[in-house]
């Protein structure tokens, strides 16, 4: 099967849930108002691409490459980023809904999550060193054996992180958010 190479192209309102996106490499492309819902993005490489106001919910990501990919104002429900190609994996999220997604064992050093919904998102064994969670809702998100050193949670809420089960050295939290570090003790903080 031949592979396409597409550079510097903008895709507007394309519906890839009905029409399969061509396999290959997309570099410096912009996907605006596109629908990838339940699409098969396996073995496709996205380098320096922007996904803006897109729906990528439940897409298949087997060996998909995201290299310096940015997601803005997008619906990204139930994605399994752990199935992506690890080589040069780099993503950034702004105003996205990532509920029920999984970053299991993913290296996400210095990743930015800005104003995102991260409800029930799985960060088990994820390396989030020096990452930013700015104004994010982390309700029922899972942090288990995760590396959260120097991560910034100061403006986020609803997280529950066990300090004995995660690496938190120099992580930043607000005073109001400290209760999220004590959840396992079932304390009443007033």
Task: Please tell me the predicted confidence (pLDDT) of residue 17.
Answer: 87
Asked whether 44 and 63 are in contact (CB, 8 A), the reply is no
Task: Return the pLDDT at 1.
Answer: 47
d(C-alpha 162, C-alpha 176), whole Å: 16
Q: Does domain 1-97 have CATH number 2.40.160.20?
A: no
Smallest CA-to-CA distance from 148 within 132, 164, 168 is with 168
Across the chain, which has 190 residues, the per-10-residue mean pLDDT values are 85 90 94 96 97 97 97 97 96 98 98 98 98 98 98 97 96 89 75
> For the purposes of burial, counting CB atoms within 10 Å of the CB of 51, is it exposed (0-12), middle (13-18) or buried (19 or more)?
buried
Q: Could you give the CA distance from residue 74 to residue 32 in angstroms, rounded to a whole number?
A: 10
3-state secondary structure of 31: strand
């Amino acid at each position: 099967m031949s592979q396409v190479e597409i550079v510097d192209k903008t895709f507007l309102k394309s519906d890839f849930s009905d029409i399969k996106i061509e396999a290959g490499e997309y570099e410096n492309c912009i996907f605006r108002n596109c629908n990838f819902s339940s699409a098969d993005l396996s073995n496709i490489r996205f380098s320096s691409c922007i996904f803006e106001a897109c729906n990528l919910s439940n897409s298949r990501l087997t060996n998909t490459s995201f290299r310096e990919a940015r997601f803005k104002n997008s619906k990204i429900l139930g994605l399994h980023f752990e199935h992506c190609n690890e080589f040069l994996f780099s993503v950034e999220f702004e105003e996205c809904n990532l509920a029920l997604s999984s970053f299991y064992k993913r290296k996400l050093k210095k990743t930015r999550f800005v104003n995102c919904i991260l409800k029930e998102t799985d960060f088990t064994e994820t390396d989030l060193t020096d990452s930013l969670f700015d104004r994010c809702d982390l309700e029922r998100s899972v942090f288990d054996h995760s590396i959260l050193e120097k991560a910034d949670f100061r403006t986020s809420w609803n997280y529950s992180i066990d300090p004995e089960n995660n690496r938190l050295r120099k992580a930043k939290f607000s005073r109001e958010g400290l209760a999220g570090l004590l959840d396992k003790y079932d304390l009443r903080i007033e």
